[in-house]
Amino acid sequence: MGEFLRRIRLPLLFAGLLLLTLILMLSDRSEAPGQGTGESWLPNALLEVAAPIQGALSRPVDWLGETWARYVALVELHDENAELRERIAGLEEENLQFREALVAGGQLQRIAQMREGFEVPLLPAQVVGQDVSSWFHAILLDRGRQSGVLSGMPVVSDLGLAGVVSATTPGAARAMLLLDRRSAADAIVQRSRARGIVRGTGTGELEFVFQVRGDDVVPGDVVISSGVGGVYPRGLRLGTVAEVQAERSELLHTARVEPAVDFGRLEQVFVLLRRGPTMDLLYGGDGDLPAPAAPDAEVSSR
Amino acid sequence: MRKAAAVLTIGLLALVVEGALAPWLPIRFVPDASLLATVAAALVLGPAEGLVAAAVFGFSADVLSGTLLGQQAMLRVLELSITRVFASQLDLGRGLPLTIFVAFLSVADGALLVMQSRFFLDLSFHWAEASRLLVRALVTGVFATPASSLARAIADRLEESQARREMRLDTKRPAL
């Protein structure tokens, strides 16, 4: 009996591990469509350990990059400076004209009221790690549940929408990027208000699937989130249409969209500390913000 | 046991370092640390220790990346078994055969991950990604020899120190 058990020990271990991985995959898939909630202790512990190490490792590289950018790569700085000054002057002029127009239309007060209603606290977070698998796109953030971050909260950068938090631990969080094949956001074209879905293709670009109604999507159009779907707030920049693919026989057309966010160079992002109703339903909870830990939460408001 | 712990620690550290450096390097030029650690474990550790180490590497990669929990763990367990089968037929201790083998294994890993993703997540595959996969497979293959050499060197050193310790125990015995 002992000899028999020793002989089947390896096949048993092999089969047991395969079965375990299969069960884990099935349970992870059923937790949320494409996203783990990160509630089990072992993945949490691993994330919790990995985040500070990755943060510590990324600091010297950050420092090197910053030093290079500040002190070494100063070629053409003078020209760039002049160009930027010119642009600022232009933008100030444009801003003034807009304000004048808004005041004239009596809209300024209404917009201020609307912003108050829409106000979402933003939590700055550092990107300390990135997914290195070829097929999926995720980042590791140095803020977690202690700072009020919950699964399902949108993640933005100064350039636009970056993704959504997919797992959290007390001190870290993992966010699935918009580039990931499982990502999708209801979107509109800012110019023509054509509506569709922006999806990650996994290749570093986005795909905008829209219903054909004349030529209402052209290259150069800016695509923003529509707010429909209850995941992302309205008005976040997603990208710019690079090419409309001609599939005239179909009702739905697709366009290639260049992301607004440079995902390869994400260093700091902001977590919107309020998740949409769909994510609330998906992950449970009443949507109230958990109290952020006092010293840790540098919350800014938009 | 010490050998397994050392290989596990180095493999996990490589995974974390890889994740930290990933924002500054294009993914296609970053070798698959988890796969390299699995191959090294297959060549250096015993079958049972190797299986457990492979599962741990895959599981950690799942946690640090956006894959389903268990997705890469399953692939690593299969890849360890494949490596052990090939190692009994080919001389994977030499540089070129190991490089070629790991490059092919990396392509197979990508293909299996796509199949898993289609089955479990209903995700489609874009052929544009095939070139990226091939480049990454080559890079992973190139890194295979240094990675397994490092693992073997550490294992040899640990075995040597263990042997020395056992010899030292004998010195207190009375002379015959």
What are B103-146's pLDDT values in tens digits? 999 999 988 888 888 888 777 767 777 888 888 899 999 999 99
A156 closest CA partner among A69, A224, A60:
A224
Q: How far from chain centre, in Å, is Cα B116?
A: 20
For A146-169, letters b (16+ CB in 10 Å) and e give: bbbbbbbbbbbbeebbbbbbbbbb
Given CB atoms, is B72 within the 8 Å cutoff of chain A?
yes
A174 closest CA partner among A257, A19, A265, A51:
A51
Reported as a pLDDT band with limits 50, 70 and 90, residue B175 is low
Judgement on whether residues A68 and A191 belong to the same structural domain of the protein: no
Residue-level pLDDT at B85: 92
Residue-level pLDDT at A119: 62
Asked if B110 lies within 8 A of A135 by C-beta distance, the reply is: yes
Residue-level pLDDT at A290: 44
Residue-level pLDDT at A93: 75
Number of structural domains, chain A? 2
CA distance B164 to chain A (A): 30
* B33 contact residues in A (CB cutoff 8 A): 132
B 8-27: CB under 8 A from A: 16-24, 26-27
Task: Please tell me whether residue A206 adopts helix, strand or coil conformation.
Answer: strand
A37: its two tokens: 């909630």
Domain boundaries, chain B: 2-156
Judgement on whether residues A143 and A238 belong to the same structural domain of the protein: yes
Q: Tokens 């950068």 — which residue?
A: A157
Judgement on whether residues A163 and A269 belong to the same structural domain of the protein: yes
Residues of chain A with pLDDT under 70: 1, 30-42, 57-58, 61, 69-75, 97, 99-119, 134, 212-215, 246-250, 284-302
Query: Does residue A2 sit within a domain?
Result: no
Judgement on whether residues A101 and A156 belong to the same structural domain of the protein: no
Given CB atoms, is B36 within the 8 Å cutoff of chain A?
no
Last residue of a domain, one of A71, A86, A116: A116
Judgement on whether residues A56 and A137 belong to the same structural domain of the protein: no
Q: What are phi and psi of A16, to 5 degrees?
A: -65, -45
Q: How many residues does chain A have?
A: 302
Query: Does residue A293 sit within a domain?
Result: no
Judgement on whether residues A160 and A251 belong to the same structural domain of the protein: yes
> The domain containing residue A78 runs over which residues?
9-27+41-116
Judgement on whether residues A73 and A198 belong to the same structural domain of the protein: no
Residue-level pLDDT at A241: 92
Judgement on whether residues A64 and A152 belong to the same structural domain of the protein: no
Instruction: Please answer whether residues A125 and A156 qualify as being in contact, where contact means their C-beta atoms are separated by less than 8 angstroms.
Output: no
Judgement on whether residues A130 and A194 belong to the same structural domain of the protein: yes
Query: Does residue A33 sit within a domain?
Result: no
Residue A71 gets which letter from DSSP? I
Asked if A24 lies within 8 A of B58 by C-beta distance, the reply is: no
pLDDT, one tens digit per residue, over B3-15 is 888 888 888 888 8
Judgement on whether residues A229 and A204 belong to the same structural domain of the protein: yes
CA distance B68 to chain A (A): 6
**CB under 8 Å to B70, separation ≥6 — which residues?**
A20, A21, A22, A23, A24, A25, A28, B58, B59, B62
Task: Answer whether 0.80 is exceeded by the pTM.
Answer: no
Asked if B63 lies within 8 A of A180 by C-beta distance, the reply is: no
pLDDT, one tens digit per residue, over A27-54 is 877 664 444 444 566 677 777 777 777 7
Task: Please tell me whether residue B115 adopts helix, strand or coil conformation.
Answer: helix
Instruction: Please answer whether residues A167 and A37 qualify as being in contact, where contact means their C-beta atoms are separated by less than 8 angstroms.
Output: yes
Residue-level pLDDT at A245: 80
* B134 contact residues in A (CB cutoff 8 A): none
Judgement on whether residues A111 and A176 belong to the same structural domain of the protein: no
Query: Does residue A202 sit within a domain?
Result: yes
* A203 contact residues in B (CB cutoff 8 A): 126, 128-129
Residue-level pLDDT at B108: 92
Last residue of a domain, one of A66, A99, A116: A116
CA distance B169 to chain A (A): 31
A interface test, pick of B13, B62, B69, B72 with most A CB neighbours within 10 Å: B69
Size of interface A-B (CB pairs under 8 A): 159
Judgement on whether residues A95 and A134 belong to the same structural domain of the protein: no
pLDDT, one tens digit per residue, over B35-94 is 999 999 999 888 899 999 999 999 888 887 877 888 899 999 999 999 999 988 888 877
Asked if A132 lies within 8 A of B20 by C-beta distance, the reply is: no
Q: How far is CA A161 from CA A97, A269, B148, in A?
A: 28, 10, 41
A interface test, pick of B12, B56, B63 with most A CB neighbours within 10 Å: B63
Residue-level pLDDT at B173: 65
